[in-house]
Amino acid sequence: MGILDMIKSRNKELEFMFDFDLIQDTSKKIHMKQLAIQTCINMISRTISQSEFYVKKDKKIVKDEMYYRLNVRPNPNMSASQFWQTVVHKLIYDNECLIIQSDTEDLLIADSFTRIEYALVNDLFKDVTIKNFTFSRTFQMSEVIYLEYISLKSILDVPFSC
C-alpha cells in the first residue's frame, strides 16, 4: 500500500465522518426546534388555562353550567387546564380544533373529523372521532366551537412578491 492509497482511504473515512456530523447537527437542530415549539405551546396553554371565561346573557355575567364547563371541568376526564392545553396543542399542530358538546353537555375535543363546507348554510362536521368512539350524528357549525389557527387557503391565496 502506497502513500497515495493511504491518503485516499483516510479521505473516504473523513468524508463519512463529515456526513455523520451533518446528520447529527441536523437532528440536534430539529430537536431544539421541537423543544422551542413545545415550550411556546406550554406557555400559551398555561396563559389560556389561567384565564377566566365569562358567559353573558342580557349583558350580565352568568355563572351557569357552561361557565363551569369552560373554567373548571369540561368533561369527567379532564380539568380545565388539561382541556385548554390540548386545545392549544391541536390548534398549533393541526391548524384547527373542533370542540363538541356531548349529550351530557360535556365539552370534548375531536381527534379527527370531516368538514363539509357550504357557502350559504352552516358547515357540517361528519365522522367526528374522540379517542376510539366515532359519533354517528352530524354536527352543524352552530352547535360546535371550531377554532382555526392559520387557514392554509389564506396563505396560499396571498400573492408572493420579492
pLDDT of residue 145: 95
Residues 94 and 86: beta-carbon distance below 8 Å: no
Q: Is the pLDDT of residue 83 over 90?
A: yes
Give residue 102's pLDDT band: very low, low, confident or very high (50, 70, 90).
very high
DSSP 3-state assignment of 93? helix
Q: Is the pLDDT of residue 128 over 90?
A: yes
| Number of CB atoms found within 10 A of residue 88's CB | 23
pLDDT of residue 96: 94
Residues 68 and 107: beta-carbon distance below 8 Å: no
Q: Where are the domains of the chain?
A: 48-149
Q: Considering the entire predicted model, what is its pTM?
A: 0.74
Number of H helices, E strands in the chain: 4, 9
Q: pLDDT tens-digit profile of 8-51?
A: 555 555 555 555 555 667 778 888 888 998 898 889 888 988 89
Residues 50 and 56: beta-carbon distance below 8 Å: no
